[in-house]
Chains A and B, each alone.
Chain A
Amino acid sequence: MVDRPVECSHCKKPTTVIYKEIVDKSMICTEMCSDCPVLQSRLHGQTPPRLEGSNEKETGLFCGNCRTSMESIKMGNPVGCSECYSVFSDLIISEMIAADKVPPRIKKEFPTMKNQTLHLGKSPNKPLTIPSSSRLTSLNEALNEALKKENYEQAAWIRDQIKGLTDDGKK
């Protein structure tokens, strides 16, 4: 079997599609799940990476859309397109975990949450405003922490800042 995308072996979804493509005298057979991004790129008429060029020397997993390779992502090069996030999903998360670029929650739960939503926050076309009270929340937290650490000088200064803000609000 050739060109099987990593996603399917990792996402543990049953293989539902067997895709065969005949170019000249060679046939490429790919088994994948129905959500597979590689299937999407095949259906949209893109040539499988291995058939491009007669002297193809590159091996390993490539993004079917922009030809970014797994090696390139591992080397810390930029991601080439949206599809890369599907093709290299697990690799991207692993690299981010290794570089300490995700919250501890994702680090801890990653092996069991491979297909879950990691994003928290705004979705397209939904404006997000921050209430003016958020500054007071930050200050109060900083004050509690300073008091916990018995850093009274710092606490006094933060208390002055809170007072300044609440006095401004009353005016």
Chain B
Amino acid sequence: MTEKSKLPEALLAHTPWEKEINPVWLATSFLLHRNLAKFNFPSKMDDRQSEQIRSTLQDQLLKSSLLRNPMALKASEISTIDKEFIYEHFLCFENFQNAAEGQGFVVDESGHFLAELNIQNHLQVQLTDCDGGWERSWNTLSQIETEIGNAVNFAFSQKFGYLTSEPYLCGTGLTVKAYLHLPALVQTGQLKETLLKQKEEGISAAGISGNLEEIIGDLVIISNAFSLGINEESIIHSVHSTAMKLMAAEKALRTHIQTENIPLIKDRVSRAFGLLLHSYQLQIKEALDALSLMKLGLHLDWIGGITDAKLNTLFFQCRRAHLLHMLAEPQLGEPQEISRKRAEFLHKNMEGVILKIEAPN
């Protein structure tokens, strides 16, 4: 039985990073974690309290003038695929599959805002900037938090700051994530060494799976490791300073790869091209890794007939929930069937793409 998605059309139609702003630093997300004073945190709440808090916070968010047509979604009323879509769209580390009664989300038409209600904390508001205007995004998120804070009391102590379910998030309760596409550093095996040299104190790095040992699509997420004993401005500054240095290292290495015509990278780009155009089945990691190499190939002028923005869009669209929504099949199928549909989808979208690398004689 097929079930119609309850997500807003604007969100379904939107893919982050669809503008070609920066090929390396794709986006920055700001997340604020908050709990309400005098209530137990989500892990210790009963159903009645959860529902009360979800409804209170949801009402406040829906009133916000800073959001574009906000829409509330009860976790118990949206499908598994819809939850997975949210997880994929906002590149969350935590999975929402088990989110149920008393939990929920608020999204808006911009496609950049997400509020999680009673998931890990009572409230987590997130705003993503994909246009390079991160000061504006942070200031907007701060204003949204202040608006809500005027209506409810957040759990706060002078000693620990904002109190959160995970103690490492207490203090400012702020997490800043910079999404960097670093194929040159990853493919040449220089990522860890560069991170050691360039990473500022209190900064951690992970792949989109949340683990640095498993980098998917050569995408590295730089974020603050803690938020106690450091103020918001310093957190933002450290993340951005580290991102800036990694971006410079990636750019320098790309120039080196291009001038030296490194055969290993040429081979990987060529193989990725073949994989995307000729596979019968494609698993998600294979697809994202191959798309990443296409982006690198495009930058090095080894690939033509496609734009960086289009590849960014495909990066989201080939993930399971996005793919099923696009194919108007909002239900989970067999993994092999999804891999086949993914391969077919990518074949169609890669039509006209050309490989400029000449085959060796």
Contact = CB atoms under 8 A, between A and B. Distances in A.
| Chain A interface residue bracket vs B | 35 or more
A73 to B, nearest CB: 8
B232 A122 contact: yes
B170 A153 contact: no
B41 A81 contact: yes
A137 B255 CA distance: 27
| Chain B interface residue bracket vs A | 35 or more
A92 B160 CA distance: 10
A53 interface: no
Interface string B126-159: 0000000011001100110010011001111111
A105 B184 CA distance: 36
Contacts of B334: none
A101 B159 CA distance: 16
A61 to B, nearest CB: 16
Contact of A146 (B160, B163, B248): B248
Contacts of A158: 244, 248
A123 B159 CA distance: 11
Contacts of A118: 159-161, 171, 228-229
Interface stretch (A14-22, A23-31, A124-132): A124-132
Interface in A66-123: 66-68, 77-82, 85-86, 89, 92, 95-96, 99-106, 115-123
B260 interface: no
Given A101-B226, A102-B229, A118-B171, A132 B44 contact: no
A139 interface: yes
A130 B237 CA distance: 10
B240 interface: yes
B237 A124 contact: no
Given A96-B226, A130-B139, A153 B252 contact: yes
Contacts of A131: 135
A101 B236 contact: no
B167 A79 contact: yes
A6 interface: no
Nearest to A153: B252
B230 A121 contact: yes
A154 interface: yes
B161 A119 contact: yes
B182 to A, nearest CB: 14
Contact of A101 (B225, B231, B244): B225
B106 to A, nearest CB: 20
A75 to B, nearest CB: 13
Contacts of A104: 201
Contacts of A135: 134-135, 240
A137 B57 CA distance: 36
Given A78-B43, A82-B155, A104-B201, A121 B241 contact: no
Which of A85, A119, A120: most chain B Cβ within 10 A?
Answer: A119
A8 interface: no
B229 A103 contact: yes
B37 interface: yes
A54 interface: no
Interface in B15-69: 35, 37-44
A124 B143 CA distance: 12
Contact of B146 (A89, A95, A127): A127
Given A92-B167, A103-B226, A118-B228, A124 B153 contact: yes
Which 6 pairs of residues, A with B, have the shortest CB-CB distance?
A119-B161, A121-B231, A78-B165, A80-B44, A101-B168, A154-B248
Interface of A: 65-68, 77-82, 85-86, 89, 92, 95-96, 99-106, 115-132, 134-135, 137-139, 141-142, 145-146, 153-154, 157-158, 161
10 contacts: A66-B40, A66-B41, A77-B43, A100-B225, A102-B226, A115-B159, A120-B230, A121-B230, A128-B233, A132-B135
